[in-house]
Amino acid sequence: MIIAANLKTNLTRKQTTEYLNTLEGLIQTSKSTQEVLVFPATSSLIPHAGHIIVGAQNAYPAVNGAFTGEIGAEHLAEFGITTILIGHSERRHVLGESQEELVKKFNFYKELGFKIVYCVGEPLSLREAGEEAMMEYIDAQYEGIDLSYENLIIAYEPVWAIGTGLTPTLQDIEELHAKLKEKCSAPLLYGGSVKVANAKEVMALKSVDGVLVGGAALNVNDFNAMINIAQELEKK
Give the catalytic positions in this structure.
88, 157
Whether the CB-CB separation of 176 and 167 falls below 8 Å is answered with no
Q: Single out the residue of 133, 132, 208 nearest to residue 167, CA to CA.
A: 208
Instruction: From 26-34, 73-81, 95-103, 212-220, give the range in contact with ligand PEP by CB under 6 A.
Output: 212-220
- Cα separation values, 11 from 7, 39, 87, 130, 204, Å: 7, 11, 22, 38, 30
C-beta of 37: minimal distance to ligand PEP in Å?
Answer: 12
| 193 is a site residue for ligand PEP (CB under 6 A) | yes
Q: Please identify which residue in 40, 121, 168, 191 interacts with ligand PEP, judged by CB under 6 A.
A: 191
| 122 is a site residue for ligand PEP (CB under 6 A) | no
C-beta of 89: minimal distance to ligand PEP in Å?
Answer: 7
| 212 is a site residue for ligand PEP (CB under 6 A) | yes
Per-residue mark of binding to ligand PEP, 67-96 (x: CB under 6 A) = ------------------------------
Q: Single out the residue of 162, 172, 173, 160 nearest to residue 195, CA to CA.
A: 162
Instruction: From 44-52, 68-76, 121-129, 186-194, give the range in contact with ligand PEP by CB under 6 A.
Output: 186-194
Instruction: From 73-81, 100-108, 173-181, 188-196, give the range in contact with ligand PEP by CB under 6 A.
Output: 188-196
Q: Distance between CA 23 and CA 207 in Å, rounded?
A: 27
Whether the CB-CB separation of 48 and 23 falls below 8 Å is answered with no
- Three-class DSSP labels, 175-192: HHHHHHHHHCCCCEEEEC
Residues that bind ligand PEP (CB under 6 A): 6, 8, 157, 162-163, 191-194, 212-216
